[in-house]
Amino acid sequence: MIREILIYGSLWNIFVFVLYGIDKGRAVRGKWRISEKTLLLLTLCGAGLGAFLGGNYFHHKTRKWYFQVIWYLGIIIQIAICYVIWKVRK
């Protein structure tokens, strides 16, 4: 069970990382974009690290203070989830 949760979390972070890349590509080409609300919500749903890495790797949304705050909050949420899983496992 723990293994499946870790796989799900990893895939979710990779998915959000890729979404930041897709949105950056669309922004450069002036095409339809993924809404900021969607990116922020996905970040808070357990993809803080993926969003942080995606935002910085693609240089996307890095100047917006609220993205920075949500990225760090998302990372804290991920750490809390890992801690709870670790405690339940014992």
Identify the pLDDT of residue 88. 85
Check residue 68 and give its pLDDT: 96
What is the average per-residue pLDDT within 8-23?
A: 96
| Residue 56: domain span | 1-89
pLDDT single digits (tens) 29-75? 999 999 999 999 999 998 999 999 999 999 999 999 999 999 999 99
pLDDT (0 to 100) of residue 85: 86
Q: Tally the domains of the chain.
A: 1
* Residue in the block written with tokens 């809404």: 35
> Using 50, 70 and 90 to split pLDDT, how confident is the model at 76?
very high
Separation of first and last alpha carbons in the chain: 13
